Structure 1
C-alpha cells in the first residue's frame, strides 16, 4: 500500500469549507439581512445565523424564515433574494482561519489527494476559494448541489472519494461539525474536527470524531496519533 509522507495509511483528504477553512459567518449574516429586508422582515442576530449554518442554503433560509415568523409562502421569494444577495457578498467579509495555509501546505507536501466538500452551492464555493487564494490547493470542489444528497448523508463523501480515486478508509475528512463527522463515519472514513467552527452552536468536542485540533496546522501531529491507533 502506498503511504503518503507523514500521513501513514492515508491517500487523500476531504476538507469542509464554512467553519473549517473559512470564517464566512459575516457573509451569511450580510446576505440574510439583504434577503429579509427585501421581504420586509427583521434581521436576525449573528448567534442565530451561526446555529443554522452547515446543512445547505435551503435549510439555512427555511430556518431563518421560521425564526422570524415569515408567512408560509415566503420560501420562493426568499430563495431568489438570498441567491442574488449572496452572489454580491460572497467572500467580501470572509477570512481564512489562522493555521489554514500551513495545514493545506502540509497536506500538499505529504502527497495527499485533496478535495473540498461543502453543503454551500458549488459555484459559490469555487468563487470563495478563488477569492481567498486557496483554490489551487484542491483537485476537486463539490458543493451541496453536486450530488443527490448533502452531508450528513455519506453519499457526497463516497462520491468525492471516488473522484479522488481513493478508498474511503484511506481518506481523512476534516470538518467542524456533527454533519461532517456523521457523513465520514457512515462512509467509513476517519475524521478530525476543528474546534473553532460552527457546529450548529453546540460544543464540538461532544461529537464522535477521531481527534480534535485547534488549528489546521496541527493536523499532521493529530494524524500521527490517530494513524498509530488504526489497524494496518
Structure 2
C-alpha cells in the first residue's frame, strides 16, 4: 500500500462512505414514482443509480420505464417531487456505517483536517450531516451544487485542497466509488476506498485506488501508524 506519512488532511465522501443512505433514496424515489403511477424500485436497483448527483439519479430512475423523450418530458416534475419527498424524510431511514464516528474522532484527535465532499445537493447534505452527528468533524462541506462541476470531475477536490492551502499529495481522499477515485486521481490526491458502498453496482476491486480499507477507523489507524514510524 502507498505511504501516507505526509498526509495532513482528508476529503471524505458521504453516500456509501459514511452513511448508508440508499433507504432514504428508495423512500423518496418511490413516493415520486407513485405520483407518476410507476411501480416501486427495489433498493439494490436504486443503489446502482447513486453517485453522480440528483440529476443523473432521476434521469436513470425515469429511464427504467420511459424512453428518452418521455424522460425529458417528465423530468422537471419528477425532480421537484423527489426533492420534496427527500427533504421530508432526509436521514430518517439512513444509517451510519460501522466505525465512522470512531474514525472521524481519531482523525480529529490526531490533528488531521477534514472536509466532506459529496455529489449530494447542499440542501440535503448539511441537514443530514447535522442529524447524524457528523457536521462537527468537518471544517468545510462541499455538495454537488457547490461548484459548476461535480465528481468525477476533480474541481471539488482541487477546491478542497485550495481551502486547506495544501498540495494535493498531502490530502487523502476517501470514497466508495469510481467517481471518487477518478476525481482524486485527476486532482493529484491519493485515494482509498471502502468495500461496503455503492460504486454503481460494480465490484470495489475494479476501482483504481491506492488501497481498500475496511472502515474510517482503519484509515485513522493507518495514518497514525505511518506518521509515527
Q: Under TM normalisation by the shorter chain, which class is it?
A: over 0.9
Aligned to 1:3: none
1:38-53 equivalent positions in 2, closer than 5 A? 38-53=35-50
Is the contact made by 1:211 and 1:222 (CA closer than 8 Å) also made in structure 2? no
- List runs of 5+ in structure 1 lacking aligned partners: 1-6
Q: What is the distance in 2 between the residues matched to 1:200 and 1:38? A: 26
Is the contact made by 2:110 and 2:224 (CA closer than 8 Å) also made in structure 1? no
Please state whether the residue corresponding to 1:150 is helix, strand or coil.
coil
Aligned to 2:217: 217
CA shift at 1:69, angstroms? Answer: 2.1
Is the contact made by 2:117 and 2:142 (CA closer than 8 Å) also made in structure 1? yes
Is the contact made by 2:51 and 2:200 (CA closer than 8 Å) also made in structure 1? yes
1:52-71 equivalent positions in 2, closer than 5 A? 52-69=49-66, 71=70
Aligned to 1:161: 161
Aligned to 1:4: none
Of the structure 1 ranges 207-216 and 25-34, higher mean CA displacement relative to structure 2 is found in 207-216
- When the two chains are superposed, the root-mean-square deviation of aligned CA atoms in Å is 1.7
Q: What is the distance in 2 between the residues matched to 1:33 and 1:95? A: 19
Aligned to 2:182: 182
CA shift at 1:161, angstroms? Answer: 1.3
Aligned to 1:128: 128
Is the contact made by 1:42 and 1:68 (CA closer than 8 Å) also made in structure 2? no
- List runs of 5+ in structure 2 lacking aligned partners: none
CA shift at 1:165, angstroms? Answer: 2.1
